[in-house]
A and B are shown apart, each in its own frame.
Chain A
Amino acid sequence: MATVTRSLGTDLRQLLPANQVFDGIEDRTLYAYDGTSLKALPDVIAQVRNAAEVAAVLRFASDHEVPVVPRGAGTGLSGGSVPAQGGIALVLAGMRAIKEIDTSSMMAVVEPGVITGVFQKTVEDAGLFYPPDPASLNYCTLGGNIAENAGGPHGVKYGVTKDYVLGLEVVIPSGDVVRLGGKQIKNVTGYNLVQLFVGSEGTLGVITEATLRLLPKPPAKKTMLAIFDRLDDAATAVAGIMAGGVIPATLEIMDQKSINCVEDYLKLGLPRDAEAILLIEVDGMPAAVEAEADVIDRICREKGVRSFQVAKDKKEEDSLWKARRSISPAISAARPSKIGEDISVPRSAIPAMVREIQRIAKEYDLPIVIFGHAGDGNLHPNILTDRRDHKEMERVEQAIAAIFEASVKLGGTLSGEHGIGLSKQPYMDLAVSKETVKLMADIKRALDPKNILNPGKIWRA
């Protein structure tokens, strides 16, 4: 679609300082990928420092019909920031100021390039808490989290990124800068446009500032590890805990394959024949935490837990987390590549879903480890493979399609927290009706009539 006659780099250097524009083939190669290993070369990279620069780039891109792909730290897991149709890679990672932490209203105002983990530490120093905790929190950006509506283990109790975004400054494709929402917890002044942009994967506008809601930092926490012989017992324990009135801060599950994978790697002494491990954390006021831990202990025992451990101190806490945190390196040690998926099913469908995935693993003869967030139904089946083995990769593709089909059949969907981007686009029809896609496309057209912002993502034209 690009109608460019001279070099884009030359044009952009008229708009931005020359040291913020890169177009050598080496630099383009550096901005071709994200955390999926998908890649497509941008024609030029523009690093921006403020909304005015973003607006100048978008105005230019609209006039010349050049694709613009917003990019934070490029750690996304669905190809959202991969420049599928070339054009301008608009890099916001340099906008990393925490502009304000308002302790009395419990709000923060941030630029999009702030690293999530850095933000969490900063607010914690002020006695506050920002719960969304994607696994990549030490290197992903808040802007990217908002654009993808990222989640994490805290989702079960605290929700996901969308639950914390109250205000946004967005540059829309026309180059206009709009300010939406603000520090108000209640706000029904017109459409809820803030939420339209959350999870829009960079297709509707470019986020240049966000106002985020914060919570008081919970003073106490308790970590527990429950090992179950049978997957179904673990699942009924999860349901029982919720029904018993406790919503844990995190409730993670590991299946038998991930237990064995970690055991191969670290020899922690985990029981290889156990079908599931639950890692449970409760947080809040000290007395409440004690009471909740007692409920969890009782319910796990009622449901036939094989072993139940409670961490007494920080050191024991770390050792209980060790198995869960070691899954990624254990997988890496096992095979050259991994393909991580991100399905989300109703909580009650978890055991059925795990068994479906295990069946698919057998059918396509692929090692698949399953772990994830049992508390909110978001599972991460990880296929261990070798990207260079094209024959095996064909089977991987088929297995992924089968997993999505199974998820939708069980009332689930394609993605809980990674987004659709490019990698899950072929399966959109499974989860979303034609009419729904048309509505999305209509909204996109209204905001971006020339289709310059992250074109070709989420659904297929």
Chain B
Amino acid sequence: MEFNELAALFKCNKCGSCTSVCPLYQNTVHEGMAARGKLALLEGVADGRLKAGEAVRAKLEDCLLCGACTQNCPSFVPTTDLFLEARAGLAKDLGLPVPIRMLLAALQSPALMNLGTPPLALLQRAGIPRIMLDQLGGLLPDVVRAGLRSMPPAPLRSFRSRAEKLRTNGDGRRGTVGYFAGCFMNWGYADAAMATRTMLTRGGFRVEVPAVVCCGVPHRAYGDIEAARDLARKNIAALEQYEHVVTDCASCGAALKEYKRLLKDDPEYCARAEKLSGRAADISEFLVKHEFPKPRGHTPLRATYHDPCHLVRGQGIKSQPREILQAIPGVEYVEMQGADVCCGAAGSFCVTHPALSEGVGSNKADSILETKADVVVSGCPSCLTQLKAMLAAKGSKIKVMHPMELLSESYKTGTEEKR
């Protein structure tokens, strides 16, 4: 395995600080989960004591890529970057398993996703996954069970097909936004995506929905860097004409902002990537920056907020979503313990590592339950799916919503404030 970051690797002095913030270490108390353990393995590979094989890869994949270790490292070891680079090196040497290759290929093909979503939605509406889980729960392999549990609620019609039918795009008095409809939002959380669109038009922006492809986060995580770069180039071409680029998916947003690093060695695209990364914004960041019109209705709810890793650490966005919730009249905002601790979803991790994911998710559900909130809000579709499953497993009725759903609702259904 080629490894270009040896100097960074040797900055780790094994102090153990990462163990105190790693959700997987906290639950397992196994060194392999924490960053310093993984760095020790990479050192072993670098100096030839260990083979860069499947065993090392399996250890590296016991990771949420949540970034808590990077943020807390007193020696500034860029742990997450090192793990991504190592995954890429291993993917090159060992290839990727067939199911992962299929997943990554499907995500590269919007046509395929369009074809697959309606039948899935029909199956879900018929309650088939629920019935399978209830009737066959114990008999199903862990991966299948976790897959069924972690499935997003597929809409019959994607956000894009719904948006295309709409006659108005907003008056655009404050400019035009290129909305990045991520895969998970488009095919999984179309209602929330519609809410985002509504909030942008309400704010005075014209919304266009350019034909984009997957942001590349899954490809990057599995080490298929070339596919991630290819997707990035396509998205840059589709989005660079817009003055504002907005997304409502934490992971897509983090990816767009990372394009400048991903393509820094591409002479044709580096400057274009730099420009796009600078323009990309998460919807909460965008609304707060552009002073969104405050809702006047009354929405009597106790609400708490879960920080998606790709927002709080990936993009440094912490205050804006909270500010938005607190702007809704009637909402009683309550902070949960460890709001910025990963929920354990981590994209496909919840399917490939169900036991580890559920351990972390269960702790998160407990923190939410402690707040006695009516609704938990989070700006990441992967988190939303995990939070729903983890709360359901505890028999909780707490609602799980994207912040734009709650915000947009508060204009519609809230009764007028009486003074």
Contacts and interface: CB of A to CB of B under 8 A. Distances in A.
B13 A337 contact: yes
Secondary structure of the A side of the interface?
loop
B78 interface: no
A388 interface: yes
Nearest to A95: B29
A32 B40 contact: yes
Interface size class of A (residues with CB under 8 A): 35 or more
Interface string B14-57: 11110110000000011110001100110010000110000110
A304 interface: no
B40 A29 contact: yes
Contacts of A427: none
Contacts of B31: 30-31, 74
A139 B21 CA distance: 9
Interface string A76-115: 0000000000000001011010000000000000000101
A73 interface: yes
B16 A74 contact: yes
Contacts of B20: 115, 117, 138-139
Given A25-B50, A26-B56, A94-B29, A75 B16 contact: yes
A347 B36 CA distance: 36
B50 A26 contact: yes
A389 to B, nearest CB: 11
A91 B15 CA distance: 17
B3 interface: no
B52 to A, nearest CB: 11
A44 to B, nearest CB: 14
Contacts of A39: 40
A387 B7 CA distance: 11
A286 interface: no
A332 B37 contact: no
A26 B32 contact: yes
B24 to A, nearest CB: 13
A426 interface: no
Interface in A6-50: 24-27, 29-37, 39, 47
A265 B29 CA distance: 34
B41 A30 contact: yes
A328 interface: yes
Contact of A24 (B15, B36, B55): B55
B11 interface: yes
Contacts of B55: 24-26
A35 B19 CA distance: 12
A419 to B, nearest CB: 16
A139 B36 CA distance: 13
A139 B19 contact: yes
A336 interface: yes
Contacts of B29: 47, 91, 93-94, 96, 113
B40 A140 contact: no
Interface string B48-76: 01100001100100000000000000111
A332 B11 contact: yes
Contacts of A333: 76
B19 A37 contact: no
Interface residues of B, number: 27
A216 interface: no
Nearest to B19: A139
B326 to A, nearest CB: 23
A388 B7 CA distance: 9
A26 B31 CA distance: 11
Given A329-B76, A332-B75, A333-B76, A338 B19 contact: no
Given A30-B32, A139-B17, A333-B76, A387 B41 contact: no
A319 interface: no
A30 B16 contact: no
A39 B13 CA distance: 12
A110 to B, nearest CB: 16
Contacts of B11: 332, 336-337
Given A74-B31, A336-B11, A29 B16 contact: no
A138 B13 CA distance: 16
B15 A35 contact: yes
Given A37-B13, A73-B19, A29 B50 contact: yes
A136 interface: yes
B395 to A, nearest CB: 27
Given A73-B19, A139-B19, A338-B13, A27 B75 contact: no
B372 to A, nearest CB: 20
A35 B74 CA distance: 13
B10 A388 contact: yes
Contacts of A94: 29
Nearest to A26: B55
A96 B44 CA distance: 30
Contacts of A113: 29
Nearest to B58: A26
B75 A34 contact: no
A394 B16 CA distance: 26
17 contacts: A26-B50, A26-B55, A29-B50, A30-B37, A32-B40, A35-B14, A74-B16, A75-B15, A91-B29, A94-B29, A136-B16, A139-B16, A139-B20, A336-B7, A337-B11, A337-B13, A387-B10
Given A29-B40, A75-B16, 11 more contacts: A24-B55, A25-B50, A26-B44, A26-B55, A30-B59, A33-B14, A33-B36, A35-B14, A115-B20, A139-B17, A328-B74
Interface of A: 24-27, 29-37, 39, 47, 73-75, 91, 93-94, 96, 113, 115, 117, 136, 138-140, 328-329, 332-333, 336-338, 387-388
Closest 5 CB pairs of A and B: A75-B16, A30-B31, A332-B75, A139-B20, A139-B16
